[in-house]
């Protein structure tokens, strides 16, 4: 495949991740299993196992299985607000992974240092300028700018604003971008802006090798961008990290859960940490029902707004080849325009 122009822009991400193509399959709980992660890596991209709230012994088995399926580098994504986070963190230090992604909220400085001491490169999600600066101060090896267009846990700012606030201003570490991205044509312009690489989730969620239930995939394929909504926070005492998912009865149930928990906080019958844990468990269980059981009515159909751009199931290798081919074609088109 011709990547003459793309190679000029792939260099930093390629070197940092140790891959052929700096396209990342974002970590998706119940979706990013060892088979999908290894398939992406073997095809030249990069992928992460999703820590979610996975018990440490199961996460350890997933890491071991992935290592049997690929000799390429891969990462693990940990959600810092998940109930199992601390146990998972101890596990990944022992397993000496090449990459660790911190998501959900931001990690403590000492947690980043401990992971780096185990030999891993640390990437931190940054949904605001202040968080990005804090993560750089903590010593993060790279940043992932994720706009609110993304699926799953999201921040409050769109990718277009984050590009201007962060991507244009930060050069000391590689900066990867995510949120609402589905096409190679768009990726080309992100590379032109200075991105070291691009992360996509929804396209890989419906890949042929994705373990997601057929009903889950079909629901995503037949949804529009406006169907992927972000959940609100009802009360500052219940610091809910917004989640973007397709609107269904499960999203409505989440609203009712928040109102119930707020009442319990008012009554003093529940502690704040316990309430937040119940919120996270709601999404973890809801996501399992959607992805594994195909419950599209009450399960959590996490998807980014790029769902409106995804209309067919493709093998992972074809998705990556299309992204690379279309990136190269768009870079060539831009070059020809600039040359008059």
Residues 218 and 293 sit within 8 Å (Cβ to Cβ): no
Predicted local confidence at residue 340, as pLDDT: 83
Predicted pLDDT at 174: 98
pLDDT at 239: 73
Domains of the chain, residue spans? 6-212+309-338, 224-291
Neighbours of 224 (CB within 10 A): 11
Question: Is the per-residue pLDDT at 240 higher than 80?
Answer: no
Model confidence band, residue 154 (pLDDT cutoffs 50, 70, 90): confident
Please give the Cα distance from 304 to 112 (Å, whole number).
Answer: 28
For residue 222, what pLDDT band results from cuts at 50, 70 and 90? very high
Angle, in degrees to the nearest 10, between helices 6-17 and 316-338: 140
Topology of the domain covering 6-212+309-338: TIM Barrel (3.20.20)
Tokens of 1: 């495949």
Query: Residue 62: which pLDDT band, with cuts at 50, 70 and 90?
Result: very high
In this prediction, residue 127 carries a pLDDT of 83
DSSP-assigned letter for residue 8:
H
pLDDT, residue 105, reads: 78
- Give the C-alpha separation, 23 to 333, whole Å: 21
- Here the tokens at position 87 are 């146990």
Closest by Cα among 71, 121, 69 to 100: 121
Give per-residue pLDDT as tens, 113-152. Answer: 999 999 999 999 988 888 899 999 999 999 999 999 999 8
| Residues 112, 138 contacting (CB under 8 angstroms) | yes
Residue 13 clears pLDDT 90, i.e. is over it: yes
- pLDDT, tens only, 41-53: 999 999 999 998 8
- Of 40-44, 52-56, 191-195, 199-203, least confident by mean pLDDT is 52-56
Average pLDDT, the chain: 93
Q: Look at residue 167 and give its three-state secondary structure.
A: helix
Res 230 pLDDT > 80: yes
Q: What is the pLDDT of residue 173?
A: 97
Angle between helices 316-338 and 34-42 (to 10 degrees): 40
pLDDT by residue (tens digit) across 262-279? 899 888 899 888 888 888
Confidence at residue 232, expressed as pLDDT on a 0 to 100 scale: 80
């Amino acid at each position: 495949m011709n990547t003459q122009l793309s190679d000029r822009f792939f260099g930093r991400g390629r070197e940092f991740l140790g891959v052929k193509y700096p396209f990342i399959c974002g970590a998706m709980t119940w979706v990013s299993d060892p088979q999908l992660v290894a398939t992406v890596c073997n095809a030249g991209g990069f992928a992460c196992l999703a820590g979610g709230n996975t018990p440490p012994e199961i996460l350890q088995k997933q890491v071991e299985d992935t290592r049997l399926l690929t000799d390429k580098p891969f990462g693990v994504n940990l959600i810092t607000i998940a109930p199992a986070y601390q146990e998972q963190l101890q596990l990944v230090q022992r397993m000496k992974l090449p990459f660790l992604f911190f998501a959900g909220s931001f990690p403590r400085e000492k947690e980043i240092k401990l992971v780096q001491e185990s030999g891993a490169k640390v990437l931190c999600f940054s949904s605001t300028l202040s968080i990005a600066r804090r993560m750089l101060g903590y010593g993060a090896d790279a940043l992932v700018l994720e706009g609110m267009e993304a699926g799953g846990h999201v921040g409050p700012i769109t990718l277009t604003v984050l590009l201007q606030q962060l991507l244009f201003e930060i050069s000391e570490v590689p900066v990867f971008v995510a949120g609402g991205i589905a096409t190679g044509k768009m990726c080309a312009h992100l590379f032109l802006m200075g991105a070291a690489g691009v992360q996509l989730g929804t396209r890989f969620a419906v890949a042929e090798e994705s373990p997601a239930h057929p009903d889950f995939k079909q629901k995503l394929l037949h949804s529009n961008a406006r169907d992927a909504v972000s959940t609100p926070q009802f009360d500052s005492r219940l610091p809910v990290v917004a989640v973007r998912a397709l609107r269904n009865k499960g999203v409505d149930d989440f609203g009712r859960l928040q109102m119930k928990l707020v009442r319990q906080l008012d009554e003093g019958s529940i502690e704040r940490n316990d309430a937040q844990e119940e919120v996270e468990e709601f999404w973890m269980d809801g996501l399992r029902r959607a992805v594994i059981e195909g419950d599209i009515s009450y399960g959590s159909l996490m998807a980014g707004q790029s769902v409106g751009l995804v209309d067919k199931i493709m093998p992972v290798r074809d998705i990556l080849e299309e992204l690379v081919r279309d990136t190269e074609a768009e870079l060539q088109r831009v070059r020809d325009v600039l040359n008059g």
